[in-house]
A and B are shown apart, each in its own frame.
Chain A
Amino acid sequence: MAEYSALALIRNAFSGNRDWKPAWRKPDPKPAYDVIIIGGGHGLATAYYLAKEHGITNVAVLEKGWLGSGNIGRNTTIVRSNYLLPESIRFYDFSVKMWENLSHELNYNVMFSQRGILNLAHSPAQADDYIRRGNAMLHGGGDAEWLTPAEIARKVPGVDVSGSARFPVVGGLLQPRAGTARHDAVAWGYARAADRRGVDIIENCEVVGFLREGDRIIGVSTTRGEIRAGKVGVAVAGSTSRLLKLAGIEQFPIESHVLQAFVSESIKPYVDCVVTFGGGHLYMSQSDKGGLVFGGDLDGYNSYAQRGNLPLVEEVMSEFVAMFPAVARLRLLRSWGGVMDMSMDGSPIIAKGPLPGMYLNCGWCYGGFKATPASGFSFAWTIAKDEPHPINAPYTLSRFERGIIIDEKGQGPTPKLH
């Protein structure tokens, strides 16, 4: 029987809620594991699929802080697969399909809400570009619809669709299956599901070095002692370069940048889908609590500080008001920053290597959250079978050298553009 159910709720209510088990144990690290995953974000999903799909349960997930303190709790919770390139469509649509069953699979309500994502277009050229992308999505087996300004005004009454808008809306690309999920619940749900299958989740355990035998990685040294492992997976997007330096890799096709996100005070239901602004770069949705959750571009300079600067705040606010004039008097509740692993082509790296015994999952730019299930699934596959799953086969590290980059937005090899 499922651990969390209406029946369990009633039973525990009668026993004074004393019998709930903690969602995950707090084990001390064992001296050795079959697999160690560094990073308690995508790493939790990876550990879960290692246990479930491949029967590998002697696994530890090492998280340097408390669970959910990193990027898995710092994003704007958007799930989508509205991409142009076949590799991206295949991967992210696979992920959306996994999201559709995730709450059921984990027996944990991740509050996945397929409210749709609407990309506003503000010029005929941008409309052509979006329609082309929509057609690519349809070809790839996904879903896409083109909305006229009148349809947008009906669907999202707050958007300024008047001809006098600074960036007049000429249409919008809607992906109805996209949506949002509760990011903490995703971390907690995967953590509990992995824990129940025997995975050790070790918090406050920072990796400070790698144990090596020649070139081969045979474990890690951590703030909680040395731990050996047959295979070590690195899933620490944001800190990939820092961690790889510990293994002697000084140069890597990634830059770390800071991305800020914001939430307003709670208001009554205002927007029932995710809306993005094409005149600049802005995406917003309304949380179940009522706050408007939104973010824009990177600050634009290398940073590992989990906070940004004010010029970007001003830019995001001005774009928000240009798109939704009615929010101008709304007060901001919180803002925060996360460190993004900006790869050179905007696409992730999920592959074996670069050293023997090591496996890499990184370069998520600012799109890691939506990928969590597919990333964990394909990374677990790569670790278990020593070869990639078809969905992550293009996401190699060698693609930069070989000239087969997956240029996510067609903008070239400059990380701050993605």
Chain B
Amino acid sequence: MLISCPYCGPRDLSEFSYQGDASRMRPDAASTDIKAWHDYVYNRPNPAGPHREYWQHTAGCRAHLIVTRDTLTHEIHEVTFARAALRAVGGRP
């Protein structure tokens, strides 16, 4: 599997570390909604198909990325910087 880092270009999987599902948004730290926290910590959509997920280019530029990858074929559709994507939705990583 090659991941195209927006800085470094296509690089081998071994340079990256996986950080999990990027669809989850952490509830507000002051929130006491048990269900929201339970969903954030434990529940996953776990799709068979396109999956938005965090990766970090740990052995390269160290940028945090959001990769859209097909979990059935390992085909990668899109790679963007995590910060930009999160800012766009006003989320906290």
Contact A311 B14 (CB under 8 A): yes
Stretch at the interface among B25-33, B39-47, B79-87: B39-47
B46 close to A302 (CB less than 8 A):
yes
For residue A287, CB closer than 8 A to chain B, the reply is no
Q: Verify B13–A414 contact, CB threshold 8 A.
A: no
A311:B13 contact, CB within 8 angstroms: yes
- Expressed in whole angstroms, the minimum distance between the Cβ of A319 and any Cβ of chain B is 15
**B74 and A416 contacting across the interface, CB-CB below 8 Å:** no
List 11 additional contacts besides A252-B43, A309-B13; criterion CB under 8 Å: A239-B48, A251-B43, A253-B43, A254-B46, A300-B17, A300-B18, A303-B71, A304-B48, A309-B1, A400-B42, A401-B35
State whether A251 touches B39 (Cβ < 8 A): yes
Annotate A233-257 by CB proximity to B: 1 below 8 A, 0 otherwise.
0000001011000000011111110
Answer yes or no: B88 CB below 8 A from chain A CBs. Answer: no
CB pair B42 A250 closer than 8 Å: no
By the criterion CB–CB under 8 Å, are A302 and B21 in contact? Answer: yes
A302/B51 in contact, CB under 8 A: yes
* CB-based contact B53/A302 at 8 Å: yes
Q: How far is the CA of A159 from the CA of B38 in the complex (A)?
A: 44
B20 at the A/B interface (Cβ < 8 Å)?
yes
A309 in contact with B74 (CB, 8 Å): yes
Please give, as numbers and ranges, the residues of chain A lying within 8 Å of B18 by CB-CB distance. Answer: 300-301, 416
Is B13 touching A344 in the complex (CB atoms < 8 A)? no
CA of A69 to CA of B17 in the docked complex: distance in angstroms? 31
Q: Tell whether, in the assembled complex, residue A401 and residue B38 are in contact, meaning their CB atoms are under 8 Å apart.
A: yes
Specify the chain B residue showing the minimal Cβ separation from A413: B41
Contact A255 B46 (CB under 8 A): yes
- In residues 302-338 of chain A, which contact B (Cβ within 8 Å)? 302-305, 309-311, 314
How many Å from the CB of A50 to the closest CB on chain B?
29
C-alpha gap A255/B21 in the complex (Å): 9
**B72 interface residue per 8 A CB criterion:** yes
